[in-house]
Chains A and B, each alone.
Chain A
């Protein structure tokens, strides 16, 4: 799509090496659309979904659309692999299962962290949990498989 001297993968690997995970989100249009941000901290990689009126999918509570919560968990999962693993290409998602545990309140920031359950040569399994006020009270959790090779 975009002609450039370095590939998107190389750009992201450079940003990873420099620890500039926040800049990776800028390379993914959908991240800006829903308000996804990345922060590398002492706990690893933290994915943040900013509270945005346009993410509301339930106006009664109001709550973030379940699809956006799923998108955040998928995004946090793939970015966690990029953060943790030595990779030669982008991990490609095979499948994701999302459990909705509590209402994800709209217009409030949501946080997510991934856990690498198994890193395989061809497939990795990642667990991701998302919360708002208290990490001990997750609003949603997912497990996903990614192709590594």
Chain B
């Protein structure tokens, strides 16, 4: 991304604001890497996130939230400061079951940006980024409806 840094949201601001959102906090989602156009989020395993008591596997909704959050953060990193971002749509392909007891990481990157839409793709994994548990693709609307980090300040 060749954008002028001064016209974009500071990466630290995106991280701080997003990590403080009530549901992001409730899930314990952390932004462990923030770059212009990409980011890496992580969620720790917890018993209250389980979708199947017998297997102990985390509910798919946790992966959706991890990837939507990471995708949103990646989108925020490329839009002009002051702009809001709202998820237009997303798709998750579940490639294999998450292993109980292990953290899940979600990587998202913008692969195309227009004035009104940011296109994002990513994947979720546990041990290795080469062995994903889910693939993710989403588009985010850029504009006035949605969430803007500086609306918080």
A binds B: yes
Q: How many chain B residues touch A (Cβ–Cβ < 8 Å)?
A: 45
Chain A, interface size category, equals 35 or more
Q: Please report which residues of chain A, range 36-73, place their CB below 8 angstroms from some CB of chain B when the two chains form the complex.
A: 53-61, 63-68, 70-72
Asked whether A94 and B54 contact (CB < 8 A) given A32-B48, A68-B65, the answer is: no
B68 to A66, Cβ gap below 8 A?
Answer: yes
Interface class of chain B by DSSP: mixed
Partner-binding segment picked from B107-115, B125-133, B140-148: B140-148
Q: Is the interface of A mostly helix, strand, loop or mixed?
A: mixed
Whether A58 contacts B146 by the Cβ 8 Å rule is yes
Does the CB pair A98–B65 fall under 8 Å? no
Decide: A74 and B61 in contact? CB cutoff 8 A: yes
**Cβ B147 vs Cβ A29 within 8 A:** no
* In contact, B59 and A30 (Cβ under 8 angstroms): yes
Known: A29-B53, A30-B50, A30-B51. A67 touches B151 (CB 8 A): no
Kindly list chain A residues whose C-beta atoms are within 8 Å of the C-beta of B64. Answer: 66-67, 70-71, 74, 96, 98
Known: A60-B148, A95-B92, A96-B92. A71 touches B23 (CB 8 A): no
Assembly CA distance A106 to B94 (angstroms): 28
- Evaluate contact between B151 and A65: CB separation under 8 angstroms: no
- Map CB proximity to A onto B87-128 as digits: 1 under 8 Å, 0 otherwise: 111111110000010000000000000000000000000000
Q: Which of B48, B68, B100 contacts A65 (CB 8 A)?
A: B68
Chain B residues within an 8 Å CB radius of A57: 21-24, 65, 68-69, 147
**Which listed segment binds B: A1-9, A15-23, A116-124?**
A1-9
Q: Could you tell me the distance between the alpha carbons of A66 and B71 in the complex, rounded to whole angstroms?
A: 11
Interchain CB contact under 8 A, A67 and B91: no
For the complex, is A90 an interface residue (Cβ under 8 Å from B)? yes
Chain A to chain B contacts (Cβ below 8 Å), 15 pairs: A1-B56, A29-B49, A29-B51, A30-B49, A55-B22, A57-B22, A57-B65, A59-B21, A60-B147, A65-B69, A71-B60, A74-B64, A75-B59, A96-B64, A97-B90
Q: What is A's interface to B at a CB cutoff of 8 Å?
A: 1-2, 7-9, 27-30, 32-34, 53-61, 63-68, 70-72, 74-75, 90, 92-100, 103
Q: Knowing that A53-B22, A58-B21, A95-B94 are A-B contacts, what are 11 other residue pairs whose CB atoms are under 8 Å apart, sorted by A's residue number?
A: A2-B53, A27-B53, A30-B49, A33-B48, A54-B22, A60-B146, A65-B65, A67-B67, A71-B64, A95-B91, A100-B88
